[in-house]
């Protein structure tokens, strides 16, 4: 299947737009993207209203005005630092046009004395005289109607002016094709949405501030197009995975019961419910595709272990993939301890395994001797093969995209997939990336877990905190000290951590450890093992402790400059404590000069431990892109949809996509053909791959 010809002009380079050369191509690439279609999705963020056209005597200072003037005289500056003035008048008064660093011959050509011109720009009064510094527009009289309009303002980059952006985007919009409608006529009537090409043109020609709102019918329509393409893609992936026959895994009840007794704790009711949902899926002939969402410390690992036992009891192998070596080692300790009581072999594979030891591991996987395999991205490598892979568990799924999920599950002929995340995701966002999955949620903490006492303390009181730490160490507590995020730079984060580590050692002696992302894996393991064994009292760290550290004896967490962290991240960090029987305290050191949003973030984390409440609040305060760090994660980045404003549309698109595929699973009807065009328009090639040619 190839892209419809009608869309080809949209996927040309922006060089195809008249007036765009190599320099502008690069600038548009930086701010919008490198193709014509990227200019369509680059919507205005503001407006300049040039319709105010007073006589000079009535003109208001501080307003943008469009004046009709006669040019009187040019007054070039006596010194380069002074402005170039052009005196103009109408029948009611005078106005000076002011220019800095401009060539006089250019101005003489633009504003010849004695001639009439249209000038538009912001007015101000200086020394009693009305001025217009650097007019935005200078035009002949016959262009008056073109000038006195509402001008859209686009997001720009250094070197790109709004005047140029407007001209080029207007030229690109002449290429907007008439496409067959992919939405139901009843939906368009009900929502009062325009057709696609009208919506696009309206969105690029706002007439008022209201036209910039995400609720405007044109913007809503475009957002819904993008969301529907996303949901159709997810639904098609799901349809494809469901159509691949799975294997019915019946499990071994005796082994299952033995595994339950091997767990050193009683399962919560939500863990039991999740395990039953997973085992029910695994018994079906279709492949399982299930998401296990559980807050920090809710016991996802035990649920995953019981799912693995079901796979092993059916004669298969299970694999668990985690994003970091720290997390792999943590799972190896926990799952290894449970499995050892049942005589099962657990092996781990990471980028560190080389040579003979790696060959031995690969052999154990291929001959079935390894019942459970835990690893990092190293599991994707081509020479990694299994005897009979029945279950794939992916931990911290938001760090891997849909493609990687499919890649790993392809290692087993018919294997089931269980995805886990401890990042609480608001329900609306769950649909945008996990819409292809059934969802199980763990919403209780294991029995005996105490609430964490979270305190906000100004960083001016750091000395009091240090004194309190001395008392905690005397009582054999173990302490995490997390250093601040510094401008998204790992290098600067590391410098901050090293400096803090040095200060802490001077104060508390040699039993202070340091952990950061640039350390060699073996050294990281050694430091964490020493902290676990109690040979280190204080672990100074960057955010690498956010995921996977499980030290029940750690009861104190201090986070420096907590205002620099996102809510979800603070919640994840806090989840490293409160894992044992002792009362835990989390101290958020913050700069008292913070803004209202940062203060709201900190009070939210202080007042609740419910990850889902925290996630919803984070979405409100920061927006989806910043909250999820979409560039680093498997979450889609939307150009037209605004997840905070369009959450109702996400649910609508989710339902619509399912209805469409129930009626027309291969998109072969006239509407189906139009929907294929929509998928091509938003480059959902993965979805198109799963459609039979029509």
- pLDDT tens for 611-622 read 878 877 777 776
C-alpha distance from residue 127 to each of 96, 124, 131, 539 (Å): 12, 10, 10, 64
Determine contact, residues 404/256, Cβ cutoff 8 Å: no
Of 480-494, 523-537, 544-558, 607-621, highest mean pLDDT: 523-537
Percent of the chain at pLDDT > 90 equals: 60
pLDDT classification of 336: cutoffs 50, 70, 90: very high
Report helix, strand or coil for 605: helix
pLDDT tens-digit readout, 650-668: 989 999 999 999 999 999 9
User: Which two structure tokens, joined as six digits, stand for 551?
Assistant: 């030290």
DSSP-assigned beta bridge partners for residue 85: 75, 98
In the chain, the largest separation of any two C-alpha atoms, in whole Å, equals 101
Strand partners for 317: 389
Higher pLDDT, 275 or 624: 275
The pTM score is 0.69
Supply the pLDDT for residue 693: 35
pLDDT of residue 344: 96
Beta strands 438-442 and 389-395 are: unpaired
Residue with more model confidence, 551 or 17: 17
Of 197, 235, 238, 233, residue with least CA distance to 218: 197
Percent of the chain scored above 70 by pLDDT?
Answer: 90
- Contact predicate 182/674, CB 8 Å: yes
* Per-residue pLDDT band at 629 (split at 50, 70, 90): very low
- Give the per-residue pLDDT at 486: 62
pLDDT of 435 higher than 70 = no
Which range among 261-275, 420-434, 586-600 shows the weakest confidence by mean pLDDT? 420-434
For residue 633, the model assigns a pLDDT of: 43
What's the pLDDT score for residue 233?
A: 87
462-482 pLDDT, tens digit per residue, is 999 999 999 999 989 999 999
| β pairing state of 452-458 and 372-375 | unpaired
* Model confidence pLDDT, tens digit, residues 387-400: 999 999 988 755 55
Task: State yes or no: pLDDT of 631 exceeds 50.
Answer: no
pLDDT band at 566 (very low <50, low <70, confident <90, very high): confident
The rounded distance, in Å, linking the Cα atoms of 344 and 330 is 18
Category of 638 on φ-ψ map: left (φ > 0), alpha (ψ -120 to 50) or beta: beta
pLDDT band at 628 (very low <50, low <70, confident <90, very high): very low
| pLDDT score, position 627 | 45
On the question of pLDDT at 694 being above 80, the answer is no
- Between the CA of residue 79 and those of 84, 95, 133, 254, 599, what are the distances in Å? 10, 22, 18, 95, 50
Query: With 50 as the cut, is the pLDDT of residue 327 above it?
Result: yes
**Cα 354-356-357 angle, rounded to 5 deg:** 65
For the record, the structure tokens of 556 come out as 């104190």
- Candidates 45, 34, 26; CA nearest to 160 is 26
Mean pLDDT on 35-48: 96
Are the C-beta atoms of 416 and 288 separated by less than 8 Å?
A: yes
Q: Residue 50, SS3?
A: coil
Q: What is the mean pLDDT of residues 484-511?
A: 80
The Cα-based distances of 595 to 391, 458, 598, 621 in angstroms read 47, 14, 6, 12
Calpha distance 585→606 (Å, rounded):
11
Of 69, 68, 63, nearest to 49 by C-alpha is 63
**pLDDT value at position 622?**
60
Least confident of 117-126, 203-212, 604-613: 604-613
pLDDT of 93 above 80: yes
pLDDT at 572 over 90: no
Residue 247 backbone dihedrals phi, psi, to 5 degrees: -120, 140
Q: Output 513 or 487, whichever has higher pLDDT.
A: 513
Question: For residues 10, 12, 15 and 17, what is the CA-based torsion angle, rounded to 10 degrees?
Answer: -30
Contacts of 661 (CB under 8 A, 6+ apart): 232, 235, 236, 239, 667
Question: What average pLDDT does the structure give for the chain?
Answer: 87
Residues whose CB falls within 8 Å of the CB of residue 507, separated by 6 or more in sequence, listed in order: 466
Among 178, 190, 235, 238, smallest CA distance to 217 is for 190
What is the distance between the alpha carbons of residues 88 and 96, in angstroms, rounded to a whole number? 6
How confident is residue 634, by pLDDT bands cut at 50, 70 and 90? very low
Q: pLDDT higher for 426 or 372?
A: 372
pLDDT at 182: 97
Is the model's pLDDT at 549 over the cut of 90?
no
pLDDT of residue 520: 84
């Amino acid at each position: 299947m190839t892209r419809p010809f009608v869309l080809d002009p949209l996927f040309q380079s922006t060089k195809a737009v008249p007036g765009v050369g190599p320099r502008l191509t690069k600038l548009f690439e930086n701010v919008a993207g490198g193709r014509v279609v990227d200019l369509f999705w680059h919507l205005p963020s503001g407006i300049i209203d040039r319709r105010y056209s007073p006589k000079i005597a009535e003109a208001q200072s501080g307003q943008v005005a469009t004046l009709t003037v006669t040019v009187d005289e040019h007054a070039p500056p006596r010194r380069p630092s002074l402005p170039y003035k052009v005196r103009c008048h109408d029948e009611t008064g005078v106005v000076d046009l002011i220019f800095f660093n401009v060539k006089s011959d250019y101005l003489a050509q633009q504003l010849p004395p004695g001639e009439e011109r249209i000038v538009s720009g912001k007015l101000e009064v200086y020394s009693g005289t009305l001025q217009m510094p650097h007019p935005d527009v200078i035009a002949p009289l016959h262009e008056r109607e073109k000038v006195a309009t509402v001008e859209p303002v686009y997001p720009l980059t250094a070197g790109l002016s709004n005047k140029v952006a407007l001209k080029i985007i207007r030229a690109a919009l002449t290429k907007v094709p008439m496409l067959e409608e992919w939405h139901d006529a009843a939906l368009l009537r009900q929502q009062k949405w325009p057709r696609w090409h009208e919506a696009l043109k309206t969105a690029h020609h706002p007439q008022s501030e209201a036209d910039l709102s995400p609720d405007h019918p044109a913007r809503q329509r475009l957002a819904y197009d993008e969301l529907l393409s996303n949901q159709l893609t997810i639904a098609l992936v799901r349809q494809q995975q469901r159509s691949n026959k799975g294997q019915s895994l019946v499990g071994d009840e005796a082994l299952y019961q033995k595994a339950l007794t091997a767990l050193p704790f009683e399962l919560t009711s939500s863990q039991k419910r999740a395990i039953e949902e997973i085992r029910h899926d695994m018994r079906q002939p279709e492949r399982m595709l299930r998401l296990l969402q559980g807050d920090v410390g809710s016991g996802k690992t035990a649920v995953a272990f019981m799912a693995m036992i079901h796979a092993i009891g059916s004669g298969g192998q299970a694999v668990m993939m985690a994003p970091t070596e720290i997390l792999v080692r943590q799972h190896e300790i926990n799952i290894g301890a449970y499995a050892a009581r049942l005589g099962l072999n657990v092996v781990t594979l990471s980028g560190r395994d080389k040579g003979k030891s790696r060959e031995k591991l690969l052999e154990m996987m291929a001959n079935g001797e390894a019942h459970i395999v835990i690893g990092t991205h190293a599991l994707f490598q081509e020479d990694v093969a299994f005897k009979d892979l029945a279950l794939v568990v992916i931990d911290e799924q938001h760090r891997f995209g849909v493609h990687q999920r499919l890649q790993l599950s392809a290692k087993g002929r018919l294997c089931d997939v269980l995805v886990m995340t401890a990042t609480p995701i608001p329900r609306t966002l769950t649909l945008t990336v996990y819409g292809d999955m059934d969802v199980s949620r763990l919403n209780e903490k294991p029995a005996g877990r105490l609430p964490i006492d979270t305190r906000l303390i100004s960083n001016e009181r750091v000395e009091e905190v240090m004194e309190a730490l001395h008392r905690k160490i005397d009582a054999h507590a173990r302490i995490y000290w997390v250093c601040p995020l510094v401008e998204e730079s790992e290098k600067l984060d590391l410098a901050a951590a090293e400096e803090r580590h040095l200060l802490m050692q001077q104060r508390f002696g040699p039993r202070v450890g340091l952990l950061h992302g640039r350390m060699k894996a073996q050294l990281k393991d050694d430091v964490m093992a020493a902290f676990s064994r109690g040979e280190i009292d204080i672990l100074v760290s960057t955010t690498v402790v956010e995921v996977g550290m499980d030290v029940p004896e750690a009861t104190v967490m201090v986070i420096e400059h907590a205002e620099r962290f996102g809510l979800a991240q603070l919640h994840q960090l806090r989840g490293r404590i409160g894992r044992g029987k002792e009362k835990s305290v989390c101290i958020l050191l913050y700069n008292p000069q913070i803004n209202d949003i940062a203060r709201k973030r900190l009070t939210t984390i202080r007042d609740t431990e419910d990850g889902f409440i925290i996630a919803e609040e984070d979405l409100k305060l920061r927006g989806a892109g910043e909250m999820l760090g979409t560039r680093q994660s498997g979450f889609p980045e939307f150009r037209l949809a605004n997840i905070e404003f369009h959450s109702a549309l996400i649910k609508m698109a989710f339902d619509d996509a399912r209805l469409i595929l129930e009626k027309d699973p291969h998109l072969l009807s006239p509407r189906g053909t139009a929907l294929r065009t929509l998928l091509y328009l938003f480059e959902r090639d993965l979805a198109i791959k799963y459609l039979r040619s029509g």
